[in-house]
Amino acid sequence: MFNKNKAILISAWSWILLVFSVAKSQTRDTSVGLRDLLCRVGKQSAFLMSDSAAILIKLAEQNAAKYNALPAFTLNLQGNLGTNNNLPGGYFSYGIVPGNSRVRNEGSDATILTDLAIASLNWTIYDFGEKKEQRNVAASDVLVEQSRFNQKKYDLEAYVIDTYLQWLQIEDLLAIQTQNIDRTTEIRQSIMALAKSGIKAGVDTSIAEAEISRLRSNYLELDGQRQQLKIILSAITGTSAEQLKADTAYSTRLIAQSLAAVSNDANNAQHPILQYYRSLYQNSLQKAQLVKKSFYPAISLQGAVWGRGSSVSAGDEFRALGKGLGLERGNYLVGVGITYDLFDIKRRQLQMKTQEAVTHYADEQYKEKQLLLNLNESKLNARLGTMKQKLLEIPHQLSAAQAAYRQKLSLYKNGLINIVELNIALSVLYRAETDLIAAKYMYCKTLFEKAINSNQVQSLL
């Protein structure tokens, strides 16, 4: 029985689609489709510019991480003027301590001039993979930022879809409102003809005028809502509001196609939300590896070449200050060293526990989002089934309301009923038409919510 009803519903919507297609073929179609709007969101939406800039920052950091193995190679040249007195004794350097190594039996306040030129190299030749893990973390940070961008883009596209469907609903309501105004205008003309012949009282004309005024007020309110929705879509897609024109036949086509189509399997594994939280989890694992490697020893190659000059001679003779200009003696030193802090063992344990907690949190977030998507999928499937049944029933309601209105209008024109009964029939017809529009909107909205939840939006475009 259900399959038979479904076949009837598909045939009915196919016939409505044919009518819309014939009507639209007679005029030049300048409407903007949902696919076009979604393409513009990804290409030119101002709401994604800051997220794009954030990706560029992470890419720059990744590029900088490629050069983290460069050695430290420094050059220094200095000339100094002062005294040369010193006494033996040890000390800890908590800041800049000028070098003054000569110890004499007697102090001297004579001024000397010295100069120093030095080139030094410090290159970590092996760090047990720490630099590599830094590059891996930088690459993982880029993936996280890209996933965050894709998630925001997906959310923005979902918002555009919902706004566009609201716009289509408003357009349908405006069309129904126009038809209702035309019907009431026709009733007013009939009233005027009957009043002139003395069959009906002139007060019916005032009632009709008041109803027309109310309908026009409703139309203006709906038109204001339409303009607001167009402004929102214009801001998000970067398209002028004047260039936006709704594809009013889209919802009818969508319903006919969805009823005839076979539902696709959900693609939750590639859902942008899950991809984002998965990237956070992977990023945390990479940072855990970096924590391990950052507390390993570092083996370094060190070297230096330097030259010195002084106005004090090797025999401790205070010469003219000019003798201190220029390098008199040179030296070099090359060596390999290993550095390790024994307390790094405890520090690594503490940081690893912290990072493991972060990783566990990211994994639980991923599982939670996956559970929510599965739950929403079940809820949306149930709601979609209800909406299908409602679409199957409403055409009967509309057909009966149309027949009742035609009968009441004919009776009224013949003076057999009053204006109140006719208004009731008109209200029943209007409610049936708006119920149909609301059912179409809710069905399409639920259809897209299911597609968004299961990452199947492209199948509806």
pLDDT: which is higher, 320 or 361: 361
Instruction: Judge whether 280 and 144 are in contact, CB under 8 Å.
Output: yes
pLDDT digits (tens, 9 = 90+) for 40-74: 898 888 899 999 999 999 999 999 999 988 899 99
* pLDDT at site 240: 86
* pLDDT at site 22: 42
pLDDT: which is higher, 5 or 138: 138
> Does the pLDDT of residue 168 top 60, yes or no?
yes
> Does the pLDDT of residue 385 top 60, yes or no?
yes
* pLDDT at site 88: 73
Residue 267's pLDDT band (boundaries 50, 70, 90)? low
Mean pLDDT for the chain overall: 85
* pLDDT at site 19: 43
pLDDT digits (tens, 9 = 90+) for 229-244: 999 999 998 888 888 8
* pLDDT at site 23: 43
pLDDT digits (tens, 9 = 90+) for 87-98: 777 767 777 767
Look at the chain and count its residues.
Answer: 461
* pLDDT at site 262: 59
Say which range, 56-60, 106-110, 415-419, has the weakest mean pLDDT: 106-110
* pLDDT at site 18: 45
Say which range, 254-263, 268-277, 380-389, 421-430, has the weakest mean pLDDT: 254-263
* pLDDT at site 201: 58
Average pLDDT of the residues in 292-321: 88
Rounded Cα gap, residues 190 and 413, in angstroms: 7
Indicate the Cα dihedral angle 388, 390, 393, 396, nearest 10°. Answer: -110
Rounded Cα gap, residues 447 and 50, in angstroms: 31
What tokens does 351 get?
């940081």
Average pLDDT of the residues in 159-163: 94
Helix (H) or strand (E) segment spanning residue 273 = helix 272-294
DSSP states of 185-223: HHHHHHHHHHHHTTSS-THHHHHHHHHHHHHHHHHHHHH
* pLDDT at site 322: 83
The vertex-105 CA angle with 115 and 80, nearest 5°, equals 15
* pLDDT at site 34: 86
pLDDT digits (tens, 9 = 90+) for 179-190: 999 988 888 887
> Does the pLDDT of residue 193 top 80, yes or no?
no
Average pLDDT of the residues in 134-142: 95
Amino acid at 109: D
Q: What is the percentage of the chain residues whose pLDDT exceeds 90?
A: 47
DSSP state of 325: S
* pLDDT at site 289: 94
* pLDDT at site 264: 61
Other beta carbons within 10 angstroms of residue 400's beta carbon come to 13
Rounded Cα gap, residues 334 and 323, in angstroms: 30
Give the pTM: 0.80
Residue 17's pLDDT band (boundaries 50, 70, 90)? very low
Say which range, 117-121, 155-159, 251-255, 380-384, has the weakest mean pLDDT: 251-255
Residue 3's pLDDT band (boundaries 50, 70, 90)? low
